[in-house]
Amino acid sequence: MAKASSNHGLPGTLIVVEGIDGSGKTTQQQLLRKWLEDRAMPIFYTEWNSSSLVKKATKEGKKKATLTPLLFSLLHATDFADRHLYQIVPPLKAGMTVVADRYVYTAFARDAARGVHPVWARRMYSFAVKPDLAFYFRVPVDVALERLRSARAKLKYYEAGMDLALSPSLDESFRLFQTRVVAEYDKMVEEFGLVVIDAQRPIHAQQKEVRAQVARKLGLPVRGTGTVRARG
């Protein structure tokens, strides 16, 4: 990936949200998108692991639990390369604001947590444009686990890192694996200039901070960014 000091030089703006499962980042990007849409900003949304190019293979691999760390890494890199070419760069060239739910930092964090060499992973994504803003919603692993447990009946096999045989317990495996992921994210804060948001704060307080950062980046009025209404 491009160095943290370089800019993509395209007319549009790339805004990224990152964080472990249960960090609340998806809620925050949804609120941000609604806020931007209400201001008639041209928005394009893209999310991790959504390319049709490898979706079927990834789904089958997860279903059969046959994905090794390296294969997982390669599939995600292929997915990202396809979306980067067709869903990220074109809207940026058109002057749109692209909101990405996860970006290369997810790969860097998860791959390293699974034992993939971090330098190798970074080289795989060296073509990726640098975001204009990358938010990292930092949350303690136990808080994330509690949120996920309250939202659904069962943790997902790979989000819990069960493929690494860290523990026979889903909860304990989640704690061990996601602790590794958090450690990798924390290393990237300085490396890539991630904007850290305390994801334990109330939703409206987080969103107010996000909107203020985005408003400054897009040249929008910073005043009046604090009223947050949940979607739906």
Domain count along the chain: 1
Q: Cβ neighbours of residue 228 under 8 Å, at least 6 residues apart?
A: 31, 203, 204, 207, 208
**Eight-state DSSP code of residue 86:** I
Q: How many angstroms separate the CA atoms of 11 and 201, rounded? A: 33
3-state secondary structure of 100: strand
**Eight-state DSSP code of residue 190:** H
Beta strand spans in 54-164 (E): 97-101, 133-138
What are the pLDDT digits (tens) for 103-113? 999 999 999 99
Q: How many angstroms separate the CA atoms of 64 and 83, rounded? A: 25
In a domain, residue 73? The reply is yes
**Eight-state DSSP code of residue 162:** G
Q: Which residues sit opposite 13 in a β-bridge?
A: 97
Does 231 have pLDDT greater than 50?
no
Q: Cβ neighbours of residue 14 under 8 Å, at least 6 residues apart?
A: 8, 88, 92, 97, 98, 100, 129, 130, 131, 132, 133
Q: What is the mean pLDDT of the chain?
A: 90
* Cα–Cα separations (whole angstroms), residue 176 to 114, 118, 165, 179: 11, 19, 10, 5
Does 225 have pLDDT greater than 70?
no
In a domain, residue 182? The reply is yes
Does 185 have pLDDT greater than 70?
yes
37-46 mean pLDDT: 95
Retrieve residue 27's tokens. 């809620």
In a domain, residue 8? The reply is no
In a domain, residue 9? The reply is no
In a domain, residue 232? The reply is no
In a domain, residue 4? The reply is no
Range of the domain at 67: 19-218
Residue 120: per-residue pLDDT: 93
Instruction: Work out the pLDDT band at 63, boundaries 50, 70, 90.
Output: confident
In a domain, residue 197? The reply is yes
CATH code, domain carrying 153: 3.40.50.300
Amino acid at 181: V
Does 32 have pLDDT greater than 60?
yes
What are the pLDDT digits (tens) for 137-172? 999 999 999 999 998 768 989 999 999 999 999 999
**Eight-state DSSP code of residue 44:** E
Does 129 have pLDDT greater than 90?
yes
Does 30 have pLDDT greater than 90?
yes
Q: How many angstroms separate the CA atoms of 178 and 147, rounded? A: 14
**What's CA 6's distance to the chain center, in Å?**
20
Q: Is the pTM of this model over 0.75?
A: yes
* Cα–Cα separations (whole angstroms), residue 118 to 55, 67, 97, 108, 139: 24, 19, 29, 6, 22
Cβ-based neighbour number of residue 231 at 10 Å = 8
In a domain, residue 2? The reply is no
46-53 mean pLDDT: 85
